[in-house]
Amino acid sequence: MTEKKQLRTIDAPFVALGPSGVAVRDRLKNLTPQEEKVLRLVGEYQGRLASVDLKARCEAGHNHDNDAWATRKRELTEQSSSRIAGTITKATHDQYGLARRCLMAHIHSLEAGVRTLMHRLSLPVGEKGSKRAPGGYRSKGEWFHKSRRLATLEHRLEVARHDWKSGRARVVRGGRRLLKNRHNLQAAQLTEQQWQERWEAERWFLAADGESGKRFGNETIRVTPGGEVSIKLPAPLAHLANSRHGRYVITSEVLFHHRGDEWRDRIEQNRAVAYRIHLDVARGRWYLTASWTRPAVKAVPLETARAQGMVGVDTNADHFAAYRLDRHGNPVGDPRRFSYDLSGTAAHRDAQIRHALTRLLHWTKQTGAQAIGIENLDFAAEKTREKHGRKKRFRQLISGMPTGKLKARIVSMAADHGLSIVAVDPAYTSMWGDQHWRKPLTSKTRQMTRHDAASVAIGRRALGHPIRRRTEPPQHHQSDGAGHRTVQADRAVRGREETRPPMTERAQDARRRTERTRTRATSTSNTVRDARSSRTWVQDPLQDTV
């Protein structure tokens, strides 16, 4: 007697919250050599202050409090200004918090790897696994190497847990990836000078938080509605100022073409806007980024989001599979695909995601739906190397899917189009969608894939319907005489799945109506033994003629 598999509990769908902030960027064009020199000096000087402050924060660990924060800010104020010191200490606090969250995620990953290794090492060599749990290792040699790896991961886990308890955070200003490139410049396709320029530029600090009530929303880096940019220089560099009150005015004008009206409305009302200036060493271009927070907007109720139907979206490694569903969960029209390419640089991948999402949102608006149902994906536990050790291509497939970036992108872009995002549990959507929807929706003119069927399953779950087509059997017979099913549209809805129309006439009635005489009566079936034949033969007069 086989045991039934216990399915895990499926979380209820929910409407994702809208974006909490906005960031726009423009280029600082035609900078003079003197202006570039001033920007480099200011960024380098404030970058050193930020490095010292980050070191002090990491050394404090759990012993840090508001008094320690005030002490750090007071020391930085003596070397720069109170506003610059406040910006640096706040950035340090955020960086330390991010490092701690990354450390906790690293601990969870190590724990998952240790559990998987211990499970597989406890099984006999060569034992096959199942869909729920991997089996034993294939050979004694592989078992030995994995036992050594288990010892390595246990040591790393012990060190990470000790860092977490002590409050230690390992942070690299400039980025750990760029730091590692220094040891392998040939693979990074960089010379030593190019790497040094990128390293210095990444460690600069040219940023300022906004202040409501101040002129144009920022006193340190000020941008007028006409596009004039000026910087409040720190005290040791005040002699480089070319304007009053220790300010340096840049001749390059900034005009934000994207969200320019929204940015201009904020600075004209003296509302806070934060700015950051950075150098793209590879292109040799300077950029200015403006950012501000949005007021908290209450999410649309789930029932309101479902009122006009739903567009179910299945996220894959190279495309989005989408299907339009009405509010009763019935697929409408044909499936759509929005492809993207995740190879190449990070900027190229980000552009591909934005382009695919833009096409998806425009198509959703055309269908009339007001919400998009998407899986609440999180592959933190699935990315571990120990679970899919030999399946390198599959591990690369999972790791390459931009789940975190996709969440942030689709929520912010959908809010601009007036659409809601309904996040659903991804459990069993591909399997059940393929089981219940792939074959019924396939026709001569429509080809359904497993991903298209999964998008239907996601949309139905977002609408609150079960994934399977009908949930209750008929009460008396196979027709709908007892009423419509639980997941079936009501009788008053146009386009519902109707019952088979009644047969107007039978075949024998049609033969009587055409007045055709049978020459052979109905015979007994050949499968019936010892039955008297009921055949009646009628002689044909044409057979007797010669």
Secondary structure E strands in 215-347: 221-223, 228-232, 247-253, 274-280, 285-293, 310-315, 319-325, 331-339
Question: Quick one: 286 and 347 in the same domain?
Answer: no
Residue 383 lies in a domain: yes
| Residue 546 binned pLDDT confidence (cut-offs 50, 70, 90) | very low
pLDDT value of residue 544: 47
Question: Quick one: 201 and 256 in the same domain?
Answer: yes
Which phi and psi angles does 435 have, rounded to 5°? -75, -40
CATH of the domain at 321: 3.30.420.140
Q: What is the pLDDT of residues 94-152, one digit of tens each?
A: 999 999 999 999 999 899 889 989 999 999 998 887 767 788 888 999 999 999 999 99
Question: Quick one: 76 and 169 in the same domain?
Answer: yes
- Is residue 45 within 8 A of residue 64, CB to CB? The reply is no
pLDDT value of residue 539: 53
Across 435-441, average pLDDT: 90
Question: Quick one: 104 and 83 in the same domain?
Answer: yes
Residue 44 lies in a domain: yes
Residue 416 lies in a domain: yes
pLDDT at 518 over 90: no
pLDDT at 206 over 90: yes
Question: Quick one: 91 and 189 in the same domain?
Answer: yes
pLDDT averaged over every residue in the chain: 83
- In order of 71, 455, 459, the CA distances from 432 in angstroms are 59, 11, 13
pLDDT at 394 over 50: yes
Residue 245 vs residue 491, higher pLDDT: 245
Q: How far apart are CA 113 and CA 133, in angstroms?
A: 13
From 463, 493, 510, give the residue that closes a domain.
463
Question: Quick one: 322 and 258 in the same domain?
Answer: no
Residue 484 lies in a domain: no
pLDDT value of residue 241: 92
Question: Quick one: 282 and 205 in the same domain?
Answer: yes
Residue 511 lies in a domain: no
pLDDT value of residue 237: 92
Question: Quick one: 276 and 364 in the same domain?
Answer: no
pLDDT value of residue 380: 47
Q: Which domain holds residue 242?
A: 15-293
Question: Quick one: 382 and 262 in the same domain?
Answer: no
Q: What is the pLDDT of residues 242-283, one digit of tens each?
A: 998 889 999 988 989 888 888 999 999 999 999 999 999 989
Which phi and psi angles does 473 have, rounded to 5°? -75, 160
E strand or H helix at 79, and its extent? helix 66-79
Question: Quick one: 261 and 406 in the same domain?
Answer: no
Q: What is the pLDDT of residues 456-467, one digit of tens each?
A: 999 999 999 998
Residue 76 lies in a domain: yes
Across 43-64, average pLDDT: 92
Residue 321 lies in a domain: yes
Question: Quick one: 331 and 289 in the same domain?
Answer: no
Q: How many domains does the chain have?
A: 2
pLDDT value of residue 341: 85
From 411, 436, 463, give the residue that closes a domain.
463
Q: What is the pLDDT of residues 66-81, one digit of tens each?
A: 898 999 999 999 898 8
